[in-house]
Structure 1
Amino acid sequence: MPSPPRPTRAGLLANPRSDRVRAVRALSRRAVRHRQGLFLVEGPQGVREAVHHRPDLVRDVYVTPAAAQRYDDLLARADAAHLPVHEVTDEVLAALGDEGASVSPQGLVAVCRTETATLESVLARAPRLLCVCAQVRDPGNAGTVLRAADAAGADAVVLTEGSVDVFSPKVVRSTAGSLFHLPVVTGVGAAEAVDAVRAAGLAVHAADGAGDRLLGALDLSAPHAWLMGNEAWGLPTELRARCDDVVRVPIHGLAESLNLAMAATVCLYASAGAQHPVGPA
């Protein structure tokens, strides 16, 4: 049986100074994202994950003719979900994206609706593994932690108040699509988050280079959360005191420390190994 015909696209968008292009490009600014409840997703990886896993959040997809041929399977999925797909020139595609980006969007950009979870809704699902980031400011770190949490099977990531905007183009790119795979909570106070997580029955392990317990000494098979601190000043004393323990990743070589994203990845994978043990091959 022949496959149904692909939907007919509107005419090629060729004016990089059109109102539509200006409106999309403005989403690089936090105030505009907050006001409109929309954000940019650039590149085939992020757009693919949005279309595959959260098509309900996708408002528009923009693609160059060359990329339309290269990513035909992605666009077929978008068509099946009845998502608006617009073909654009290379010049328009470049004008749509984040002007501060150092990488090319490779012919694909999507506009998606912002959506965050509440801490209450996350805890109501009886999570086994959470990652709480206290005032994380670096976009690359925030995105990489979210990606690592996704890969380790975490149930959610919490970015406390004072953290970078999870919908900024740099964070979105760094998540490599993981933003569309697991709930993200934003704007909650760090102390409030720790207290709520512990009240829900999860242990909270603060990751800190000065911790008095080694990562390998923990039993991570029970439900728990990792608390990660700010890149520059770590975790304040009063916040560490609210946790069940303060844990350090052992350093066996001459490196002074691990950066936030590396430490979070190591801790999350230690948790994944304890909660999802792999038997002998």
Structure 2
Amino acid sequence: MRTERRLFLADGPQAVEGALGVPGCAVEVFATTAATARYAALPPAAAAAGVPWTLVEDRAAAGLSDAVNPAGVVAVCRSVDRPLEHVVTRGHRLVALLADVRDPGNAGTVVRTADAAGADAVVLAGHAVDPHNPKTVRASVGSLFHLPLALAAEPAAAVAAAQAAGLQVLAADGAGEDDVDDLADAGVLAAPTAWLLGNEAWGLPAELAALADRRVRIPIHGRAESLNLATAAALCLYASARAQRRGRAPGHR
């Protein structure tokens, strides 16, 4: 259903609420009687959006969910991804570029983090997980519907699109020449920025990291070998968000 009809399921109250907030996204909502009563604000929101609210039995609702403890409310939605050129555009100040990120929970968590940091967009590039995967949708806790998202077949194309839109591309790389704290102190992070983050297991390929304007490491002060993807994304995105709110850089790409 996801690939052929470009429809997917948004499972749980936060996801359903997010879908109903995007005009034309939600097609129909299926809910149990108990969930309809528990999430009383959702049926009026569906009615206001012109989206049918259909009562179903508990077994039917559970069949639409892959959650261990289904919430009893699921929306059928139209795919939310948009063309890369419509998502990464001039005027944006903070973008997350995910290259070959394959774990649905990680991808959803980064989308949620990008949303919380005030990012303008997220791009999933290369051999990335489907953002409409039920686990990705659930891990985003509704944020999938809050900011533009694009799919790019080639990570290099996503990097080029960001640079063409006036964003400096910073590759998060444990062996990077620049320290994220030093860049923050120097005002570099106040410029419009796209953070390039790699696969959970092997990070960024050297040839892809080389396309970035800078390779940036997060300092490890203890004995941990590295940080996981979601944590690294949070630190990078929030470092930029903080710098951008404190002041503009004197010059940038």
Structure-2-length-normalised TM-score: 0.92
What SS class does the counterpart of residue 100 from structure 2 fall into? coil
Are 2:114 and 1:149 aligned? Answer: yes
Unaligned runs of 5+ in 1: 1-31
Q: Distance in 2 between matches of 1:198 and 1:217?
A: 22
**Letter of the structure 1 residue corresponding to residue 48 of structure 2:** A
Are 2:17 and 1:48 aligned? Answer: yes
Whether the 8 Å CA contact 1:44–1:105 is kept in 2: the answer is no
**Letter of the structure 2 residue corresponding to residue 64 of structure 1:** T
Larger radius of gyration: 1
Q: Which residue of 2 aligns with 1:171?
A: 136
Q: Deviations over 1:28-73 (max 9, x none)?
A: xxxx31001100111111111211x214110010111111111111
The number of equivalent residue pairs is: 243
Note the aligned Cα RMSD (angstroms).
1.3
Identity of aligned residues (%): 55
Are 2:234 and 1:265 aligned? Answer: yes
Q: Which residue of 2 aligns with 1:255?
A: 224
- Alpha carbons of 1:95 and 1:123: their partners in 2 closer, same or farther (altered >3 Å)? closer
Q: Which residue of 2 aligns with 1:221?
A: 190
The aligned runs of 1:121-136 (5 Å cut-off) are 121-136=86-101
Q: Distance in 2 between matches of 1:248 and 1:125?
A: 26
Q: Deviations over 1:163-204 (max 9, x none)?
A: 000001010001000000001110331111112211222110
Q: Which residue of 2 aligns with 1:107?
A: 72
Whether the 8 Å CA contact 2:90–2:165 is kept in 1: the answer is no
Q: Deviations over 1:93-130 (max 9, x none)?
A: 111223xx3x3231111110113122211233521111
Whether the 8 Å CA contact 2:80–2:145 is kept in 1: the answer is no
Q: Which residue of 1 aligns with 2:64?
A: 96
Q: Which residue of 2 aligns with 1:11?
A: none
Q: Deviations over 1:214-272 (max 9, x none)?
A: 11111211111000011111111111111111111111122111101110011000011
Are 2:27 and 1:59 aligned? Answer: yes
What SS class does the counterpart of residue 243 from structure 2 fall into? helix
Are 2:161 and 1:196 aligned? Answer: yes
Q: Distance in 2 between matches of 1:169 and 1:56?
A: 20
Q: Which residue of 2 aligns with 1:73?
A: 41
Q: Which residue of 1 aligns with 2:205?
A: 236
Q: Distance in 2 between matches of 1:150 and 1:92?
A: 32
**Letter of the structure 2 residue corresponding to residue 86 of structure 1:** T
Whether the 8 Å CA contact 1:162–1:187 is kept in 2: the answer is no
